[in-house]
Amino acid sequence: MQKNSVNKVFLIGHLGSDPEARYTKTGRATATFSVATNEAWKQKNGNNVEHTEWHSIVTWDKLAEFAQQYLAKGQLVSIEGRIYTRQWKNKEGQKGKTTEIICSNIVPLEWKKTTTT
């Protein structure tokens, strides 16, 4: 019997970098960028604690083109997607692991600032 499961992520945070866009060898558009989410709380001793979590975001196709054109560092966005962890070996044979958010929807909560001349 197969059990149903859900892999769904919703983030609201600020872009840590401008999207980095490129095309695969087959011509498929992709863009990557980071998003920071922040939380703060007060400990029992009264000290304030702040924590920033950085998320690696990967977009594909038209969403990648949208990100490249309309998103910029510092902008507040809502991200919807799924968690994906990939593994690899480097040249020395050491294993590496990266967890990314494969983005399925982006909603800018602020629009990127444009300069006028």
92 falls within a domain:
yes
Domain annotation covers residue 83: yes
Distance CA 100, CA 90 (A): 18
Q: What is the mean pLDDT of residues 31-43?
A: 96
Residue 49's CB is within 10 A of a number of other CB atoms, namely 9
Q: What is the mean pLDDT of the chain?
A: 92
Whether residue 23 is contained in a domain is answered as yes
36 contacts 14 by C-beta, under 8 angstroms: yes
CATH number at 91 reads 2.40.50.140
Confidence of residue 113 (pLDDT cuts 50, 70, 90): low
Structurally, how many domains does the chain consist of? 1
Higher pLDDT, 65 or 1: 65
* Confidence band for 111, pLDDT divided at 50, 70 and 90: confident
Whole-number pLDDT of residue 110:
84
